[in-house]
Amino acid sequence: MDHFTYKNGHLFAEDVALSEIAENVGTPFYAYSTATLTRHYNVFADALNELNALICFAVKANSNQAVIKTLANLGAGADVVSGGELMRALKAGIPAHKIVFSGVGKTDDEIQLALSSGIKQINVESEPELDRINLVATDMGTVANVTLRVNPDVDAKTHEKISTGKLENKFGIEWTRVGDVYQRATDMAGVNIRGLSMHIGSQLLDLQPFHDAYTRAADMVAELRNAGLSVEVLDIGGGLGIPYFEDNETEAPTPEAYAQVVRETLSDVGVELVLEPGRMIAGNSGILVSRVIYVKEGSTRTFLIADAGMNDLIRPTLYSAFHKIIPEKEPAQDAELIDVDVVGPICETGDTFAKGRKMAKVEAGDLLVMRTAGAYGAVQSNTYNTRALIPEVMVNGDKYVIVRERVCIDDIIALDRVPDWLDG
């Protein structure tokens, strides 16, 4: 359920016409719906109610401060994977004691920032990183709260680029090594080892891998405790998939079904649970609005050439991801559907949002809306082809605000420096 609906033949975000935003802000732009964001957070949180769980929104999915703050006000914590994300989360009002720090390559500076900010925990991804954290914390005269991220060797059955739980993936400490490493961490003066963490992948549409991984986690907690070690926290990551096709809402498991897996596998373990959902919270609450520049009729295909490109939304080209695309003007019920390729203006064939998509006819100048773009959309945008970073807009009822300005081309070019030796 979301709050992007047609009213009087035009698409609205809550009570604001997207055509009005397009006119005032220019295209392309991302738009987020506060009501949708709130709803998704609440549905997820309600499903996990009674599980002693802290929900840490994976800020990588959408790190706009307006989004983070909306979630902070609902009680969310944050999962961050860089010093930059940590700074954003703090700035947006997430209390430090609700922030967890994941990621395979934390630098000394990032570890220092995490320790001086007093975050809840660092999820340690390797033995060398554990040693480094111990060293940095000792130098600072402090003790780092950590969990060990376990690589459980479970196939998440998702796209290979977003699978993280197999031994061939770079993430986490191999599960067979965790007992020894945990023991070693217990003896470190700069480390307070609090438990385990894991994250097996993203956009999981099958709950079985979660079941397998969480069962393994429960067994590992039991083994550690049998060895006399204390385990207080279990961070089970994010990864729950969402429906992108929409005509088929059953494509993805519900938060309730996911919560049932968590209950079945972990409710008796007696740990504080941490979850790190990203896409599930933010995905459906955002759209990308673009204008058709040209309709190009080829002999074999019709191309809708949009003013958004793969630099603005890279998911289709990077993961062959499907995003539903709908016109801003509501098509008539009986409108004829034609096959179109929706492409961007970038000089790469991969700059294609959809191929052979059945859509009602649109014309140059019309607005197109790419759905389910609130997660891993704006955050993965870039300036390829020297294109501006597009603005993000947040809607709340009948109000909207630009929550990230367009980063204009002059400013991008002004970052270059031309060496003296090239002059004259």
Q: Tell whether residue 278 is a contact of ligand LLP (CB under 6 A).
A: yes
Q: Tell whether residue 153 is a contact of ligand LLP (CB under 6 A).
A: no
Q: Name residues whose C-beta falls within 8 Å of residue 80's C-beta, 6 or more positions apart in sequence.
A: 59, 60, 86, 88, 89, 99, 100, 101, 102, 103
Cis? peptide before 95, omega within 30° of 0: no
Q: Considering only the stretches 32-40, 263-271, 273-281, 361-369, report the one whose residues sit in contact with ligand LLP under the rule CB under 6 A.
A: 273-281
Among 199, 216, 323, 387, indicate the residue that binds ligand LLP (CB under 6 A): 199
User: At CA 133, angle to CA 132 and CA 136, rounded to 5?
Assistant: 85
Catalytic residue selected from 1, 347, 414, 415: 347
Q: Tell whether residue 162 is a contact of ligand LLP (CB under 6 A).
A: yes
Of 190 and 255, nearer to ligand LLP (C-beta) is 255
Q: Tell whether residue 279 is a contact of ligand LLP (CB under 6 A).
A: yes
Q: How far is CA 7 from the centre of its chain?
A: 30
Among 61, 181, 224, 292, indicate the residue that binds ligand LLP (CB under 6 A): 61
Residue 116 burial by CB count (10 A; 0-12/13-18/19+): exposed, middle or buried?
A: exposed
Asked whether 368 and 28 are in contact (CB, 8 A), the reply is no
C-alpha span between 143 and 152 (Å, rounded): 27
**347 a catalytic residue:** yes
Q: Which one, of 264, 262, 284, lies nearest residue 275 by Cα?
A: 262
Q: Tell whether residue 209 is a contact of ligand LLP (CB under 6 A).
A: no
Q: What is the dihedral of CA 415, 416, 418, 419, to 10 degrees?
A: 80
Closest separation in Å from C-beta 119 to ligand LLP: 15
Per CB under 6 A, which of residues 79..108 are in contact with ligand LLP? 79, 102
Among 28, 239, 253, 374, indicate the residue that binds ligand LLP (CB under 6 A): 239
Place of tokens 């055509």: 19
Of 6 and 319, nearer to ligand LLP (C-beta) is 319
C-alpha span between 42 and 158 (Å, rounded): 26
Helix, coil or strand: residue 336: coil
Of 55 and 326, nearer to ligand LLP (C-beta) is 55
Among 28, 152, 237, 286, indicate the residue that binds ligand LLP (CB under 6 A): 237
Q: Tell whether residue 245 is a contact of ligand LLP (CB under 6 A).
A: no
Q: Tell whether residue 203 is a contact of ligand LLP (CB under 6 A).
A: yes
| Enzyme catalytic residues | 347
Q: Residues interacting with ligand LLP, by CB under 6 A?
A: 58, 60-61, 79, 102, 162, 199, 202-203, 237-240, 276-280, 315, 319, 375-376
